[in-house]
């Protein structure tokens, strides 16, 4: 088994690299009632037979409130303008700005900030988004996947992050100055799913592995260790105190309407996006 972002699955299916898992997980909702096996039926009907919903999170913004207030006393703390407005980015540059190294997510959130469809990656939309990013990049101190240590060390005052490190200060009780928010212009709800890579022979142990990983106790411990939610839904199932806390931080009830999910890109779209993203990082984007 492998763990992948849901939006990657259609590209793998196009290359015939996954095995169906539906017949092997038919009884898993009884084992793990938070799974909601049919959650993708409406939006990605072609993938449902090949995935098991696993861990859920969001991609938003974490801010050091006192540091931001000291530099931008009148700025809205629930807006991507803190990051994507060059004037604000310039004011915050000295206390550290970081962006997660995830091209599709960053571009989708930039488009959302600009009032555009976050899943419509036309040439015009990409030009607008990269134009905005190119104006703030001089003030960005890092593009990284390692935000936990940066937050632990107080190296950033604002960051575009996955919720996994974004909620860590609250869950672990360090960095009381930090607040994780889903900005009003839009934030991402993501799902990592379990898939079965296509091999010459199907694994005879796949069913046992799924049943073990998704058994209530093990599933809860894996999700807690990852600072992830077992489900953004789940109002009708029993959640542990830790899961209630994680869900409240990752998916604040009063901000849920701001969330959207990424749609899959074609291989050509992803290649073009990643090429532009790399050029932006090395300062060659025009």
**Which of 70-79, 91-100, 207-216, 275-284 has the lowest average pLDDT?**
207-216
Structure tokens at 213: 């990983």
What confidence category does residue 286 fall into, taking pLDDT thresholds of 50, 70 and 90?
very low
pTM of the model: 0.91
Residue pLDDT, tens place only, 221-262:
999 999 999 877 755 556 788 888 999 999 988 888 999 999
**What are the tens digits of pLDDT across the range 54-75?**
899 999 999 999 999 999 999 9
């Amino acid at each position: 088994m492998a763990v992948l972002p849901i939006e990657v699955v259609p590209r793998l299916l196009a290359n015939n690299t996954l095995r169906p898992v539906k017949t092997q997980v038919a009884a898993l909702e009884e084992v793990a009632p938070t799974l909601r096996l049919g959650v993708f039926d409406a939006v990605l009907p072609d993938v449902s037979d090949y995935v098991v919903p696993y861990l859920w999170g969001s991609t938003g913004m974490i801010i050091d409130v006192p540091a931001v207030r000291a530099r931008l006393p009148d700025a809205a703390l629930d807006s991507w303008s803190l990051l994507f407005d060059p004037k604000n980015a310039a004011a915050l540059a000295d206390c550290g700005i970081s962006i997660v190294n995830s091209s599709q997510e960053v571009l989708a959130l930039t488009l959302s900030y600009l009032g555009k469809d976050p899943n419509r990656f036309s040439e015009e939309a990409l030009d607008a988004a990269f134009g905005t990013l190119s104006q703030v990049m001089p003030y960005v101190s890092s593009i990284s996947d390692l935000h936990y240590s940066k937050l632990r060390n107080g190296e950033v005052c604002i960051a575009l992050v996955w919720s996994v490190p974004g909620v860590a200060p609250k869950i672990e009780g360090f960095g009381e100055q930090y607040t994780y928010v889903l900005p009003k212009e839009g934030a991402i709800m993501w799902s990592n799913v379990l898939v079965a890579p296509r091999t010459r022979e199907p694994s005879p142990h796949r069913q046992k592995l799924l049943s073990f990983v998704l058994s209530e106790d093990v599933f809860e411990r894996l999700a807690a260790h990852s600072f992830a939610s077992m489900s953004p839904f789940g109002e009708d199932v029993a959640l542990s105190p830790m899961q209630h806390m994680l869900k409240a931080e990752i998916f604040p009830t009063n901000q849920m309407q701001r969330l959207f999910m990424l749609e899959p890109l074609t291989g050509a779209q992803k290649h073009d996006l990643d090429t532009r993203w790399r050029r932006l990082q090395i300062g060659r984007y025009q």
